[in-house]
Chains A and B, each alone.
Chain A
Amino acid sequence: MLETLNGAGGGERLVGGAAIGRKSNGEPVLLGCKCTACEKEMVPPVSVCPVCGGEAMREAVQPGEGVLYSYTVVHVGPNRFRRPLALGYIDLDNGVRVFSHLEGDTFEIGERMKFDVAVVGRDPDETDLTGYVFRKENGQ
């Protein structure tokens, strides 16, 4: 069982923390789950399978890479996040679709993206928000 940042109590204020884990070397990983009955995988980890209703779910580290299915740059919405805010869906290499904040200046549908953890916003009390993001594979 990986330690999730959600329960780590490290003083970070998390967004989407249930899907962020850390390996023993500290490297962040995208956490999902797999239903042992229907074998569907999904992000984030949940205790009941939303596909078949099965309750035997096990943690499943997800591929950290995928392809950008679609995206938008949003100028409205919750002001705890930066504006404009880039949001998108990534189709991971195992077929799971993940909603994510995107890091970068420009994006292209179909381009490869990789998982990371970054500051994604700031609350009115000046506390930074940490969340998972996907950024271009070439590291821009």
Chain B
Amino acid sequence: MSQANIIGVGMTRFGKYPETHLADIAWPAVKSALADAGIEPGAIQAAYCGSALGGMMVGQSILARIGMTGIPITNVENACSSSSTALQQAVMAVRAGKYDTVLVIGAEKLTALGGGTLPLNDDDWEASQGMVMPALYAMRAMRYMHDYGLTREQLALVSVKNRANGAMNPDAQMQKPVTVEEVLASRPVADPFTLLQCCPTGDGAAAIIVASDKAAKKYAGKHPIRVLASDLTSGRFTPGFRDMTSPEITVRGSAEAYEEAGVGPQDIDLAEVHDAFSIAELIYYEAFGFCARGEAGAFIESGASAINGKVAVNPSGGLLAKGHPVGATGAAQVVEVVRQLRGECGARQVPDAKVGLTHATGGGLAGFDHGACSIHILAR
């Protein structure tokens, strides 16, 4: 069995491109990843494309723009985990020996939907009664504040940290740093969240080249990044009590990923986690074991999750600053971790980064923490 390696990455800056076709937002990311890997388009054997809301055959429409059709293309929809699930499928295929060179794409154009909160399934029991994603996360935050005494100022620190990181990332949608006062004074969305504690809506794309050991030796112009773990799981339905301060899907997924990789939380130098709303990053510190239950507020306050801290969380700016074009998010997290592990991140570089993880989870469904979760652990 071959290992899977990442030999090239590329992305289209997250932002708003209402006049641009989704395929035209995405193909430059694909070309950029190919060039990064030093591989010619004709050497790619298969493609997996993640998009949550882009419609049918997003992968074909992107690759048709640049003469890369005729290979097997699999389109993947898994809500916020769409392109991380696409990567998980590509890694499985390479490890199984089916392909040596696989392209993974994440692409999304949320401006095509007219703005506002992410559309959930109309027939969902809770969504039909007015549930929206900010409300779901807000209830997690309210309960967490109640149980552990987290303050509104500590909650706001997530946005302050990630906006500061995003200001150093040329691919981030939001590049202006903010203060705690500005975060708390922005308009209310769902108590306790203000606007600056919610990820922006936008468009974007990211691409990854996955290679077997043999192909990694042949093509990698730069140091190949090893995939230590590639985990996918789904949420467990429960009709009764669910502890909303501890995301069961991520707790299970992180345990699976650490076991597969043979590493633990103490080995992680940086983590790109799914901070769709401020509270999310805090509960994921605990789910990944970066700090104990109930200590996330003190953890961020101490600077432990800053770029120079114990574990740099969301050095790219995360969803809050880099942006969250749903289906593109998982692949873009991998782009950041690969660049960090190669030491290419300039002002936001995590010192001596050796091991990093990505975490994309989502899907609002009644009775679930989340519908989908995909975690990857990468090492240089």
Contacts and interface: CB of A to CB of B under 8 A. Distances in A.
B188 interface: yes
A132 B60 CA distance: 46
A125 to B, nearest CB: 18
B242 interface: yes
Given A50-B367, A85-B130, A101-B129, A70 B117 contact: no
B114 to A, nearest CB: 13
Nearest to A97: B240
A87 B240 CA distance: 17
Contact of B139 (A40, A44, A51, A70): A70
Interface stretch (A4-12, A21-29, A71-79): A71-79
A87 B128 CA distance: 13
B42 interface: no
A74 B132 contact: yes
A87 B130 contact: yes
Nearest to B125: A44
A77 B117 contact: yes
A63 to B, nearest CB: 13
A16 B142 CA distance: 24
Given A74-B130, A99-B131, A89 B240 contact: no
A77 B128 CA distance: 11
User: DSSP class of A's interface residues: helix, strand, loop or mixed?
Assistant: strand
B130 to A, nearest CB: 5
Interface string B167-196: 000000000000000000001111110000
Nearest to A81: B130
A96 interface: yes
Interface string B146-162: 10000000000000000
Question: Which of A41, A91, A99 has the most chain B CB atoms closer than 10 A to its own CB?
Answer: A99
Range class of the A interface residue count:
35 or more
A109 B244 CA distance: 13
Given A76-B117, A96-B240, A131 B138 contact: no
Interface in B230-255: 237-242, 244
B235 to A, nearest CB: 12
Nearest to B236: A51
A101 to B, nearest CB: 7
B134 interface: yes
Interface string A11-40: 000011000000000000000000000001
Interface string B351-380: 000000000000000110000000000000
B92 interface: no
A77 B142 contact: no
Interface string A60-95: 000000000111111111100100110111010001
A123 B167 CA distance: 42
Contact of A71 (B131, B142, B238, B239): B142
B218 interface: no
A113 interface: no
A72 B240 CA distance: 19
Interface in B92-131: 116-117, 125-126, 128-131
A109 B143 contact: yes
A73 B131 CA distance: 11
B274 interface: no
A91 B243 CA distance: 12
Contact of A72 (B129, B138, B238): B138
Given A76-B116, A81-B130, A97-B242, A71 B139 contact: yes
B237 A50 contact: yes
B44 interface: no
B116 A89 contact: no
Interface of A: 15-16, 40-44, 50-51, 69-78, 81, 84-85, 87-89, 91, 95-97, 99-101, 109-110, 121, 131
Interface of B: 116-117, 125-126, 128-132, 134-135, 138-143, 146, 187-192, 237-242, 244, 366-367
23 contacts: A15-B130, A44-B125, A50-B239, A69-B143, A70-B139, A70-B142, A70-B244, A72-B138, A72-B139, A72-B192, A74-B189, A74-B190, A75-B187, A76-B132, A81-B130, A85-B130, A89-B139, A96-B240, A99-B131, A100-B129, A101-B130, A109-B146, A121-B130
